[in-house]
């Protein structure tokens, strides 16, 4: 599924897992970028955008949701393009306006996101022009309660963010915070089935052709998590540890474990799902599993990303 399948002027930058994919539209009167990646990758984000735009400015920045890997490059793009308009989902608009990094989950998860502003909130049920085409704005709660997805009906293109990947979907964070959100994931998958896209541009991973098997895999994964919430929480904790490893690359093992113990989101997950396990033993077990899976390495006193 390559660029030849896209309308003219649509560019997808597939990023590594610390950053979400970026989608750049240059085919219309205004240039538009959907999602901006993680803040430590901001120089690469700017380079990718400038490699296509050249001297042309970036006019509009859109965020599917406000997790740090999707909006961490906002501040850098706003500094590079002072006249840019920034459009965000409505749910956390007040928290962005007041800049509340706790409510936005950046401090609780131990992740980084430089402060940014926004021009207006995007409303589900509306439409927006990306390039030469009009795209529908749909609410897609589950992974994030305020997430949006975008659908272009003529070419049946879907920007799915973390609501649907080729092999699943993103961690259902509201479930970790005490909300019942697995049903919202199911409703979002039902919505995608009704939209019946031809091609999906996910928040992470390669662009893929939509076939029924993709949705079947996602629903099977959802069923396994909904039937065993501690399994989902265990998976989520490993995802958060891996995310931090991607950011820091290498750290003293004890310091890394202590960081996790002191990070509020891990404390919250442990209290809700693993209260009877000592904190250090729980973190050690999670890291051991990351090493066994080949996505982390131990070298002497250090833990390394792999």
Q: Which mean pLDDT values do the consecutive 10-residue runs of the chain (306 residues) have? A: 70 94 95 98 97 97 98 98 98 97 95 98 97 97 96 97 97 93 98 98 97 96 97 97 96 96 96 95 96 96 96
Model pLDDT, residue 5: 66
pLDDT of residue 78: 98
Domains of the chain, each with CATH number or no CATH = 3-226 (3.60.15.10), 229-305 (1.10.10)
Per-residue pLDDT, 257? 96
Q: Identify the pLDDT of residue 213.
A: 96
| pLDDT value of position 1 | 41
Rounded Cα distance between 70 and 67, Å, is 6
């Amino acid at each position: 599924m390559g660029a030849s399948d896209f309308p003219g002027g649509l560019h997808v930058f597939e990023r590594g897992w610390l950053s979400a994919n970026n989608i750049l539209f240059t085919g219309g009167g205004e240039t538009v970028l959907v999602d901006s990646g993680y803040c430590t990758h901001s120089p690469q984000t700017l380079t990718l955008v400038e490699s296509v735009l050249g001297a042309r400015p970036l006019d509009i920045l859109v965020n599917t949701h406000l997790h740090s890997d999707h909006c961490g490059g906002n501040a850098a793009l706003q500094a590079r393009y002072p006249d840019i308009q920034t459009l965000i989902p409505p749910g956390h608009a007040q928290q962005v306006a007041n800049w509340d990094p706790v409510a936005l989950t950046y401090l609780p998860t131990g992740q980084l996101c430089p402060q940014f502003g926004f021009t207006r909130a995007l409303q589900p049920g509306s439409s927006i022009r990306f390039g030469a085409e009009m795209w529908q704005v749909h609410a897609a709660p589950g992974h994030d309660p305020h997430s949006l997805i975008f659908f272009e009906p003529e070419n049946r293109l879907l920007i799915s963010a973390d609501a649907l990947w080729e092999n699943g979907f993103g961690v259902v964070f509201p479930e970790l915070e005490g909300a019942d959100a697995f049903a919202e994931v199911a409703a979002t998958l039902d919505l995608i089935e009704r939209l019946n896209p031809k091609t999906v541009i996910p928040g992470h991973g390669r662009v893929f052709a939509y076939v029924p098997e993709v949705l079947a895999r996602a629903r099977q994964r959802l069923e396994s998590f909904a039937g065993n919430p501690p399994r989902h929480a265990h998976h989520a904790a490993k995802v958060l540890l891996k995310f931090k490893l991607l950011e820091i690359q290498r750290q003293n093992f004890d310091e890394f474990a202590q960081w996790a113990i002191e990070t509020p989101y891990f404390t919250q997950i442990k209290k809700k799902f693993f209260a009877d396990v000592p904190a250090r033993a729980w973190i050690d077990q999670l890291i051991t599993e990351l090493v066994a899976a080949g996505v982390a390495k131990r070298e002497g006193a250090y833990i390394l990303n792999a």
